[in-house]
Chains A and B, each alone.
Chain A
Amino acid sequence: MDQLQLRAFENRCIQEELPFCTAACPIHVDVRAFMAGLAEGNLREARKVLDRTMPFPEIVGRLCDEPCRPFCKRGEIGDPLAISMLERACVGMTAPVLKLPKLPAKGGTVAVVGGGLSGMTAALDLGRKGRKVTLVTAAEGLGGSLRSLPETMLPREAFPQAAALLEGYGVTLMLAADLTVERIADLIATHDAVYFDRDEIGPQLVPQAAAQPDPLTLALPAEGGFAGGGLGEDSSSFSVIKQVEDGRRAALTIERYLQKVSLTAQRDKEGVCTTRMHTVITGMASSAVLIPADPALGYTTAEAQQEAGRCIRCECLECVKQCVYLQEYKEYPKTLVRKIYNNQAIVQGTRNANRMINSCSLCGQCTVICPHDIPVPELCRTTRQDMVRNGHMPPSAHDFALEDMHFSLSESCTLARHQPGTSASRFLFYPGCQLAGSSPETVVRTYRFLAGRLQGGVGLMLGCCGIPARWAGQEPLFAETMDRFKADIARLGNPTLITACSSCLSIFDEFCSEAEIVSLWEMLDSLELPTGKTQAPGETLTLHDPCTARHQETLRLSVRSICGKLGMHIVEHDCNGPLADCCGYGGLMQFANPQLGGKAAGMKAGRSEHAGLAYCAMCRDNLAASGHRVAHLLDYIFPVADGQNPLARSNPGFSRRHENRARLKQDLLNSLWPEAAVLQPEHRQITLLISREVLDLLNSRHILEEDVQKVIHQANQTGRYLVNPGNGHQLAGFKPVRVTYWVEFEPTSRGYVIHNAYSHRMLLPEVGQ
């Protein structure tokens, strides 16, 4: 990712866009933060927000004509907030909190002619910037036309206070000046820039100011002359905030003029601007504006707090609201991409975001939700590719999952055969590695059903589509897996694939477009389902679409149609279909970040209070592992003879899943293709006796029972192990591939009792090297 790509990505995330009120405010007061302060009863914090942006909050806070109010999002569900009344209440109840710093004095002299609010603002802004400013007015004091306002609207001390503030920033005030045409000509001659506040200075006094200033810069045609303030262009309305805007705009122009830089570049965000902010108000209750008990006095503290509490605090965060990953890392896409970019830029030092990059499930929910289709998953996946390419991918992140994939693709598990007794296949059933691992019996029953119903031969293929390699950023490995898959189906005569797994389907759709593919669900929906044996559950189930079926609409419809045919009562929750959550397996989240994987499963299962129905084997097992009752749809189409409740089936765990795949191949060969038996390696003969607690420990530590068998086998072969004479336990370590496993075991007549197992990746000089 380069700087340009970073910017383009950041620009698509709108969380940091201005809220509607701020965008509609000519000086961009952070109304949202102001409301937050008030609503929390923190008046100082609210006042600080005003002090930061408003010149003379004592005046502007009391008089602002709130052009922002019609844009308040709250107005779409009730009344917009009483923004101006709240500002008035705040400045009435607080003293100034924040005093903005004065920059060191710089050259350049500026005369401000006219002491209205726009002149005052220009003088203040330029004074703060260190310019030498002289404000000249014929009036007795500051304020221009505001001086005529009644005391109830504006306390009389506001103007002397403003004068003191200006003098504090080094502005020279010349009040009650004799402003003649000659005097003004003299000011023009002796200053680098002159601003005319048209609230006080008319064209009869200053012929130069008769021309319309440029609307963007407020520069007059005459060199060094600037003008603003007074009535609007249509000369009908006097807006207080417009005075402030003009003064501020002119001050910025004059500052640029004195610096001799462009007066016009990059000023599109100044003043009232558009915003791309996206705030969803669905489900929010409508509310009416709070009328103060005494309208003449305005809001009390308590009333202000209550009214400000109606603020929605407009933001987007639509993706974060649903995504367990973004919530966990407290990021939204814009901040996430920045962290990823910085992580990738590190040459020497710790790459703190590695785990974050590897924790995204790549499910794509955020992209569907985002009004700008922000591609967070693609960003995370391609970053992983870069990490692998550059040698910066932490080996422990995906090793276990990739070893599991290797095993699924090994001789122990793979199979690609025509239907027994045939030499050609019109169809090829591809159950996928996870259904084979979760419920091998279901694979057999489904295959027997398809082989019995479909004409032209139904072959069977066991393997793995390679999606773990793709998720892990291991492109060469993924490409190699796809090539092998294509060669295998070509060898079987390119039959129509029937895939049970949505992940396999998504991979084949994208990378094997030459193959004809149909999902198992569409196929089953087109066939007459087995009768008699099928049994609908006696309760309502909530259907959980897998994240990889997000874009597989016809498949999802077939699943629902099948549920209907089985007489099942199904309910949907909000995060289903295109918005489906990941169960924690996607993107190998649960391997790179097991804790987060658990949270993801819990969140998905918790979307409904009903027991679940999944049709992805990983969803089924992960949701079950999170302690929820969940069944697989095939459990109801092809129920087992023992009548066990499919909702009660526990998570098989990594070891069992591993073994199930190998056993599936064995059983299929024995029953359907008896000609080819595979020799089991010697260590597989070792009988293990493992308690539930130790099994859970192995599972959480990513240690397979086969690894345990290998350690014991190695200890027996070499005689190298430790012994504890106190209890007769033995302890041995062995490194089959990259990880060293240590197992504490106890030989008995029935087999080896396993007491403990742990592992490390650091290499020892002695053990198994």
Chain B
Amino acid sequence: MSGYSFIEATPWQCAGCRLPLTPTTVSLTYLNSVFNVELMACPRCGMLLVPESLAAGRMLEVEQLLEDK
């Protein structure tokens, strides 16, 4: 899933910094695998958004794939 982008317009804002979220590249890890993906995050404090569509979709698929490796 490395190189994937999950950038989408979102109404969520960082509550602490009062800033709209912007695209950022982060490293996700699971069972010794690392994936660099683009997620929406607070440009100041880095607070991330994992949307439901990602958690219940692509992320779950990759988790299950890795678990059977």
Contacts and interface: CB of A to CB of B under 8 A. Distances in A.
Interface stretch (A68-76, A162-170, A551-559, A725-733): A725-733
B69 A722 contact: no
A336 B50 CA distance: 39
A762 B26 contact: no
B49 A354 contact: no
A577 B50 CA distance: 49
A724 B15 CA distance: 9
Given A394-B68, A721-B15, A760 B50 contact: yes
A725 B63 CA distance: 32
Nearest to A352: B68
A722 B68 contact: no
Nearest to A353: B68
B26 to A, nearest CB: 5
Nearest to A763: B29
A722 B47 contact: yes
Given A759-B55, A763-B28, A742 B50 contact: yes
B16 interface: yes
A68 B36 CA distance: 67
Contacts of B55: 742, 758-760
B52 A742 contact: yes
B3 interface: no
Contact of B68 (A354, A758, A760): A354
B4 interface: no
A105 B7 CA distance: 67
Interface in B35-50: 35, 41, 45-50
Interface in A82-131: none
Given A719-B15, A722-B15, A765-B27, A758 B52 contact: yes
Interface string A754-767: 00101111111111
A762 B68 contact: no
Contact of B14 (A349, A350, A722): A722
A351 B48 contact: no
Interface residues of B, number: 34
Contact of B12 (A719, A722, A762, A766): A722
Given A350-B68, A351-B68, A396-B67, A762 B48 contact: no
A456 interface: no
A731 B49 contact: yes
Contacts of B27: 765
Contacts, number: 92
Interface in B1-31: 11-16, 21, 26-31
A730 B15 CA distance: 8
A763 B26 CA distance: 11
Nearest to A351: B68
A536 B18 CA distance: 63
A296 B21 CA distance: 89
Contact of B11 (A352, A725, A759, A766): A725
Nearest to A761: B63
Given A742-B52, A758-B55, 9 more contacts: A349-B69, A731-B12, A731-B49, A758-B52, A762-B30, A763-B30, A765-B27, A766-B47, A766-B48
A280 interface: no
A395 interface: yes
Interface of A: 349-352, 354-355, 394-397, 719-726, 730-731, 733, 740, 742, 756, 758-767
Contacts of A726: 11
A34 B54 CA distance: 53
Contact of B63 (A396, A719, A722, A724): A396
27 contacts: A351-B68, A351-B69, A354-B67, A396-B64, A719-B15, A721-B15, A722-B12, A722-B49, A723-B12, A724-B12, A724-B13, A733-B50, A740-B50, A742-B50, A742-B52, A758-B52, A758-B55, A759-B55, A760-B55, A761-B63, A762-B28, A762-B29, A762-B62, A764-B26, A766-B46, A766-B48, A767-B48
Given A759-B55, A762-B30, A765-B27, A350 B69 contact: yes
B47 A762 contact: no
A758 B65 CA distance: 19
A343 to B, nearest CB: 9
Contacts of B46: 766
A472 to B, nearest CB: 14
Closest 4 A/B residue pairs (Cβ): A394-B67, A722-B12, A760-B55, A723-B15
A749 to B, nearest CB: 19
Given A722-B12, A722-B14, A742-B50, A760 B65 contact: no
Contacts of A349: 69
A355 B49 CA distance: 30
A767 B28 CA distance: 11
Contacts of A719: 15-16
Contacts of B26: 764-766
A354 B47 CA distance: 36
Contact of B65 (A350, A731, A733, A761): A350
B3 to A, nearest CB: 16
Nearest to A718: B16
Nearest to A741: B55
